[in-house]
Structure 1
Amino acid sequence: MAISQITLWKLISGAFGLICLLLMATLGILLKNSYTKQSIQPTFSPGSMTELQEVADCCSCPEKWIGHQCNCFISNEIKTWNESFHFCASHNSSLLQLRNRDELHFMNSTQSFYWIGLSYSEEHGAWLWEDGSSLNQDLFLSTETLNPKFCITYNPRHTILDELCEHKNYYICKKLT
């Protein structure tokens, strides 16, 4: 009788072990699917930017692009302003054109500066975005000290700097979905 009880307990414990494994696998799959569907508010370094992607009802970004508020962004390399401009154009996007101060609040943790699509127009005597629209003067503290012959970098903590366009920086392309 003792041998049959041991065998019975082994069968019962084996069945419970198998059930536990199946439940853990199911939970892992559910958690993975749940995690990829929720909005991500990243804190990241420039190198990890492309690994993050927000998926929302209104937008779906290409692979390795970061989505935020129905816009898609990317910046995983360091390039000159001209190289950045051409890279964005080749991906049906443009260098970032900021409309408001909170547009990139999800990037506030980064210390890096990024090329944006702001340049000085000699013809208009003003700083203009790539699409020809004028810069909202409330967006940055001052553009008066910027050198019109340089290109503009932006730090998501709302700071802009002028730099030689030949310097290499990260960049932000923006693609409306």
Structure 2
Amino acid sequence: MKVERDQLQMSYSLLETERDQLQTNYSSLVMAKEHYIPFFHLSSAERLKACPQGWTCFSSKLYYISTERKSWSESQKDCKERGADLVIINNEEEQDFISQFTGPFWIGLSDREREGTWKWVDGTTLQEGQGYWKENQPDNYNENESCAETAKSNSQKTWNDFQCDEKLSWICEKEG
């Protein structure tokens, strides 16, 4: 029952986000039409307001919020097929944006290469003490947790290490 409720809550949250994005897209298109500016003449900031269907725009990036569930590796493969990669959280604003979604979601962080050395999918290392880990995380429970997931929380600290083979939803990110 809880799983169904969580899935419905996640679907509702995604629908709300999509509705808001459609309203923004519509406003942008009306504004562009009123000013007779072809889409390809819009600035990159104006183009982001007209976010592609199925993607959510934030700052200068596009985000795909999945509703399916896959392992961390399968999730990364799906992102790559979309011309993106699992999300890399670069700052507090992006963390706040990502943490509004119910989750849990895979993010592009793991210590699969070397236990305790957390790296983003672009190869950059997360420095000790950085990030938005939940209290007492990462803990490598049962010496079997090497991939990071995030879920909505009352706190800004939403990350947890988890078993990479577990099936979760995921968030892809690409440049706008």
Q: Taking structure 1 as the reference length, what is the TM-score of the superposition? A: 0.62
Q: CA offset at residue 112 of structure 1?
A: 2.0
Higher RCO (CA-CA < 8 Å; seq separation 6+): 2
Question: Are residues 146 and 46 of structure 1, via their aligned partners in 2, closer, same or farther at CA, if it must alter by over 3 Å?
Answer: farther
The share of aligned pairs that are identical, in percent, is 25
Q: Which runs of 5+ in 1 are unaligned?
A: 1-43
For the pair 1:134 / 2:134, whether they are aligned, the reply is no
Matches within 5 A, 1:110-129: 110-123=101-114, 126-129=117-120
Please, which of 74, 77, 98 is the counterpart of residue 86 of structure 1? 77
Matches within 5 A, 1:4-83: 45-46=13-14, 48-53=16-21, 56-57=45-46, 59=48, 60-80=50-70, 81-83=72-74
**Secondary structure in 2 matching 1:117:** strand
CA RMSD after TM alignment = 2.7
Q: Which runs of 5+ in 2 are unaligned?
A: 1-11, 26-44
For the pair 1:153 / 2:149, whether they are aligned, the reply is yes
Partner AA of 1:146 in structure 2: N
Question: Are residues 130 and 109 of structure 1, via their aligned partners in 2, closer, same or farther at CA, if it must alter by over 3 Å?
Answer: closer
Q: CA offset at residue 78 of structure 1?
A: 2.4
Alpha-carbon distance in structure 1 between the residues aligned to 2:100 and 2:168: 17
**Secondary structure in 2 matching 1:139:** coil
Alpha-carbon distance in structure 1 between the residues aligned to 2:101 and 2:151: 8
Partner AA of 1:172 in structure 2: I
Alpha-carbon distance in structure 2 between the residues aligned to 1:135 and 1:169: 22
**Secondary structure in 1 matching 2:94:** coil
Q: CA offset at residue 86 of structure 1?
A: 0.7
Partner AA of 1:69 in structure 2: S
Task: Report what 2:90 is aligned to.
Answer: 99
Alpha-carbon distance in structure 1 between the residues aligned to 2:99 and 2:87: 16
Out of 123-132 and 139-148, give the one that drifted further.
Answer: 139-148
Q: Taking structure 2 as the reference length, what is the TM-score of the superposition? A: 0.63
* Structure (1 or 2) with the greater helix fraction: 2
